Amino acid sequence: MADFDIKMIAEELKNYDGEEVRIMEVCGTHTAAISENGIPSMLSEKIKLISGPGCPVCVTVTAVIDKLIELSMRSDTVVLTFGDLIRVKGTFKSLAEAKGEGANVKMVYSPMETVKLAKEDPSHTYVFAAIGFETTTPVYATVLEEAVKNNLNNLKLLTSLKTMPEVIRFVVKNGGGVDGFIAPGHVATITGSNIYKELSKELQIPFVVSGFEGTQLLLTIYSLVKMKGKGGFKNLYKSAVREEGNIKAKEIIQKFFEPSDASWRGMGKIPGSGLILREEYRKFDAGSDMLDEDNMPPGCRCADVLVGKIKPADCPLFGKKCTPDTAHGACMVSTEGSCYNYFISGRR
């Protein structure tokens, strides 16, 4: 895109004086990119950006963390997890706190490390905390493929896997109002852009698939402002997102997982919004069934934030009891969380 266009777009966005437009970035990586690029300060006050439910850690219910803690207390089991999840509190404590008390919790950078550890140490069962959306699910499927190939009986997943379309419908029905969606770029690389095209038709709300660079985000927001009230769809991230998505990734997801209902932190059970292991692979499940209990920390309004009912700064605990160093709720823990990003970027 020529500089002139971006300048013109930036100027129009800054001076926009039409009806208020509420735009939701569904994906946590977009939330972080919007903060890093200082996008909110480049927009008119009449263009409101809302962070949606696409941060995996933010939407994981406490029952999942409680179960991981329970598993990690067994002498023959080691729980493996990504960094963010380790700090999120379950009903009573976080995995980090459990680790401090002697539980077997290990932070890893890739789920594939589970395969290596399980192969090297048959005396322990290695359980990976498999949380995430369509983007990470193919990696978990690859872990399972390796487990099958190597006949590993000491590798398991505790799954809390979510998919996007149903939660977007939930947000439209139960949230604070959305005029346009920045469709999740990474998820769309796997699922394809067509599902967002269909959603835009069904919901009569515009969707734009976007990458993560500042200029592309500005162009996306500009497109959504222009499309307000008219519906419509655009894919501005064609370099990575095809209409049909990543067929191989979709095939491997389908091989190991099937659609299910899923519980979302503070939002309850949303029918058809998750994935569970298929019956024939359930021996790799560490007990993911019925993990619905959701004991939100007292006063935390994460769920209202994630559906756009309030902004993080409207939570009475924001910046007081709850900061990145003293995170009270999950949305302040994750680097993709709405509250975390509002706090570190001064976004209000």
Q: Please, which residues bridge with residue 183 across strands?
A: 209
User: Shortest Cβ distance from residue 268 to ligand SF4 (Å)?
Assistant: 17
**Least CB distance to ligand SF4 at residue 15 (A):** 32
Residue showing tokens 């980090």:
96
Q: Give the residue with the Cβ less far from ligand SF4, 138 or 266.
A: 266
Supply the DSSP symbol for 89: B
Give the span between the Cα atoms of 154 and 151, in whole angstroms.
9
Distance CA 237, CA 106 (A): 36
Contact status: 61 vs ligand SF4 (CB under 6 A)? no
195 binds ligand SF4 (CB under 6 A): no
Which window, 23-31, 92-100, 185-193, 321-329, contacts ligand SF4 (CB under 6 A)? Answer: 321-329
d(CA 319, CA 340) in angstroms, rounded, equals 10
For 114-123, b/e burial (b = at least 16 CB within 10 A) is bbebbeeeee
Cβ closest to ligand SF4, residue 33 vs residue 305? 305
Contact 25, 180 (CB under 8 A): no
Tell me, residue by residue from 290 to 309, as one string, x for binding to ligand SF4 by CB under 6 A and - for no binding. Answer: ----------xxx--x----
How far is 341 from 320, CA to CA, in rounded Å?
15
Question: How far, in Å, CA of 327 to CA of 289, rounded?
Answer: 28
Where do we find the tokens 């997890």?
81
SS3 151: coil
CB of 302 to ligand SF4, least distance (A): 4
Structural contact between residues 96 and 87, judged by C-beta atoms closer than 8 angstroms: yes
Residue 93's Cβ-count burial label (10 Å; 0-12, 13-18, 19+) is: middle
Binding of ligand SF4 by 57 (CB under 6 A): no
Angle between helices 3-15 and 214-227 (to 10 degrees): 50
The two structure tokens encoding residue 106: 């290990």
Closest approach of ligand SF4 to the CB of residue 254, in Å: 35
Fill in the per-residue mask, 224 to 263: x = in contact with ligand SF4 (CB under 6 A), - = not in contact. ----------------------------------------
- Computed from CA positions of residues 277, 279, 281, 284, in that sequence, does the dihedral angle turn out positive or negative? positive
312 binds ligand SF4 (CB under 6 A): yes
| Of 119-127, 128-136, 176-184, 328-336: span binding ligand SF4 (CB under 6 A) | 328-336
Residue number with CB closer to ligand SF4 (250 or 321): 321
Residue 318 makes contact with ligand SF4 by CB under 6 A: yes
The interface region with ligand SF4, picked from 65-73, 202-210, 213-221, 317-325 by CB under 6 A, is 317-325
Can you tell me which residue has the tokens 């009573």? 92
Q: β-strands 180-183, 21-27: how paired? A: parallel
Site mask, ligand SF4, residues 329-348, x = CB under 6 A?
x-xx------x---------
Q: Residue 37: how many CB atoms within 10 A of its CB?
A: 18
Question: Of the candidates 328, 336, 341, 347, which one interacts with ligand SF4 according to CB under 6 A?
Answer: 328
Among 291, 317, 334, 336, interactor with ligand SF4 by CB under 6 A:
317
Region near ligand SF4 per CB under 6 A, out of 46-54, 159-167, 257-265, 310-318: 310-318
Binding part of the chain for ligand SF4, among 46-54, 71-79, 267-275, 326-334 by CB under 6 A, reads 326-334
Residues that bind ligand SF4 (CB under 6 A): 300-302, 305, 312, 315, 317-318, 322, 328-329, 331-332, 339
